[in-house]
Amino acid sequence: MSWYSLPLLRAAWCLFFVLSASAQTTKPPSAPIPTQIPGQNAILMGVAWYPEQWPESRWEEDLRLMEAADLKVVRIAEFAWSRMGPSEGHYDFDWLERAINLAAKHHIVSVLGTPTATPPAWLTQKYPDVLRMEPDGQRVTHGNRTHASASSPRYREFCRRIAEQMATRFGHNPNVVGWQIDNEYGYARMSYDDVTRQQFQDWLKAKYKTLDNLNTHWATSYWSQTYDNWREIPIPVGGHNPGLMLDWKHFGTDTWTSYQQNQIDVIRKHAESRQFITGNFMGFFDGFDHYTITQPLTFASWDDYVGTGHVDPAYNGLSHDLTRGFKRMNFWVMETQPGAVNWSSLNNFLNRGEARAMAWQAVGHGADDVNYWQWRSALNGQEEIHGVLVGPDGTPVPFYDEAAQTAHEFAKAESSFRDTQPLSEVALLYSYDSHWAIQFQKHTEKYDDVALLKIYYQALRQISQSVDVVSAYAPVDAYKLVAAPSLNVLPKDLADHLLDYVRNGGHLVLGPRSGMKDEFNSLLPQRQPGFLVDALGARVEQYYALEKDVPVSGLWGSGEASIWAEQLKSQAPGDEVLLKYGKSNGWLDDQPAVITRAYGKGRITYIGAVLDDKLMAAATEWMTNTSGVTPVLGPVPDGIEVSRRIGPGKQVFVLINYSQEDRRVTLPHSMNLVLDGKNSNTLDLAPYGVAVALDNR
């Protein structure tokens, strides 16, 4: 287990931080916490609304249009600090209460965002030390967002005050159902000021106790990096000691976790327990470990944007499942794009029906709410020409109708989704430590561990039709197949955790670069895959960054490996070589590329290369067949995504046609086609078409 999972070390952490439990030892909740709002629909659609930007005389019309579109939720106030706190020590929440109550009149509930991503000018001008410092030593100026330092004790005090004032006023308001802490925190980098550096040094001292321990684990004798005073240790900028770089990421995780906890504590002190607390995260953003930071939250949320181009259903589905895996429970999509954004290189509009398909995909993957950002075009500001539902003149834009159609469908189908969640036989392991370690020393610019995760995900989901993405330390005994495409950091306790899974009958598949590092980002004295060598009965003799593709052939057919290849060597009886390299650089010629071995009641497999699509399809077919994994629905035509949610006495399927041609799907038996209002065992889907099939036999 990583050091930062240990309670004793956590208790020793420095004064400025309120610590949370580590996600590396994530435990399943004793009972799932329902994300559905009591008395409201099981699946909801909403919008980000900024009443502070408009005259109150306009609010009624905005809310009337929302109600007509069947929107059930507004998220408000997350950027309204200067309106709620116009000067130090003075607060004005009357306008916000009127907005919340008027929304309730239109059967719309409110989620309050704490406004701490946008400190007001009076604060940053009077107390410039709260502003974040860039690596070059320059303070960020006022006028954008996320310009304050999350590690500033003064700024945290102001954040606590505004959050407490809001919770005192609205913690018992029946029309407020929950809270969002800040907005997309971590979006900006950590501050590089002297206060933050000293906190980092104190944090290191609490972790390592002595400089001898730190110097040993970081191997600081290399390049004369040895430290004899805690105050000598820098914040890493650019390439640096790998141990220092990884600890800076851990420190960043704990900084943002305690920044979040600073507000959670005062909200929980004053708010009713029925009000949830969440944060809107950003998919594969890697500024901190999301398994850690989401633990104190009721559930996780994320902001689902495409940007340039069109939705990639595999990557988008992977991002949904990543978010669901943070706490292993249903989630919210707190923001998604209403057609187009304004911040990408080419802000094209999604095709008609594409955003509707995205919303239903979110629900299929476990979302209980989807909110569009934003309701109406702001007349000024950095996002003037972002997509909206209502234009600057206050009348609906064409996308309003698509959002309304989708929301009407949510309302029609919501009873089918009550008390349901996805359930999978396959899990992918994602480790922030491993991701960071690879990013620090990629060895080839072409190696992208998230892209490799998507390759495994897409191939496995095409067969199984349901995949969980979870922490490497998550409970895995319920899965028939667990794959870890790039588990670079693999300390002893994690290896033992995975070996227990294999001994008890699971199938563990490791990808390239696995088992190279310990929890300090130091090379293990064993060859890859480190503490799993004995179970595998084989090891990695050498790894190679590839200049060109290498032929590979064997049980799974013939194809090519690209980007990365590892030369494996069998060391024990019972090993089976599934693929070998062909003629290459001389070192790889005729050497094993994939080895599998039965171990205990289960099996461990090592894939030492990045395989082409054809070989990956064959590999996943073998993995799933060997593990006894079956599709959740059954065969479907190409381009159809299937998702399943299970509840008491029922299962509900969401089918989406991502091809550009009409598709007919034959179901295993007659089901209730909820959106069509009929029972049938066949359904027809146009491009971006959606069907919801309820099976309660």
369: phi then psi, degrees, rounded to nearest 5:
-160, 145
Give ∠ CA 269-96-396 in degrees, rounded to 5: 130
Q: Can you list the alpha helix ranges (DSSP code H) found in 142-280?
A: 153-170, 194-208, 211-218, 242-270
**Cα dist from 693 to 166, 407, 638, 683, whole Å:** 42, 18, 19, 9
Annotation marks residue 335 as catalytic? yes
Q: How far is CA 284 from the centre of its chain?
A: 6
DSSP 309-344: S---HHHHHHHHHHHHHHHTS-EEEEEE-SS--SSS
Amino acid at 450: V
Q: Does residue 41 contact residue 411 with C-beta atoms inside 8 Å? A: yes
Residue 411's SS3 state is helix
Residue (of 284, 291, 344) closest to 317 by Cα position? 284
Annotation marks residue 425 as catalytic? no
561: phi then psi, degrees, rounded to nearest 5:
-105, 145
Residue 370's SS3 state is strand
Element housing 83 (H / E): helix 81-84
Beta strand residue intervals within 77-175, DSSP E? 109-113
Q: Which of 56, 60, 157, 184 is catalytic?
A: 184
Please tell me the total number of residues recorded for the chain in this structure.
Answer: 697
> Which residues, including other chains, have CB under 8 Å from residue 686's CB and lie 6 or more apart?
353, 657, 662
Beta strand residue intervals within 495-575, DSSP E? 507-510, 538-545, 550-554, 557-570
Residue (of 162, 147, 184) closest to 88 by Cα position? 162
Q: Does residue 149 contact residue 186 with C-beta atoms inside 8 Å? A: no
Give ∠ CA 489-490-496 in degrees, rounded to 5: 165
Cα–Cα distance, 558 to 552 (Å, whole number): 6
**Cα dist from 225 to 198, 214, 240, 609, whole Å:** 19, 11, 10, 34
Q: Does residue 117 contact residue 146 with C-beta atoms inside 8 Å? A: yes
Question: Which residue in this structure is represented by tokens 């593709």?
Answer: 549
Name 694's bridge partners: 652, 672
Cα torsion 233, 235, 240, 242: sign: positive
Tally Cβ neighbours within 10 Å of residue 165: 16
Task: Show the tokens assigned to 67.
Answer: 């109600």
Tally Cβ neighbours within 10 Å of residue 387: 23
Q: Does residue 660 contact residue 689 with C-beta atoms inside 8 Å? A: no
Cα–Cα distance, 225 to 165 (Å, whole number): 48
Q: Which of 157, 164, 335, 519 is catalytic?
A: 335
Task: Show the tokens assigned to 200.
Answer: 């980092």
Backbone angle region of 505, left / alpha / beta, with phi > 0 → left and psi within -120 to 50 → alpha = left
> Which residues, including other chains, have CB under 8 Å from residue 478's CB and lie 6 or more apart?
none
Burial zone of 194 (CB within 10 Å; 0-12 exposed, 13-18 middle, 19+ buried): exposed
Cα torsion 341, 346, 352, 358: sign: negative
The radius of gyration of the chain's CA atoms, rounded to the nearest angstrom, is 26
Annotated catalytic residues are: 184, 335
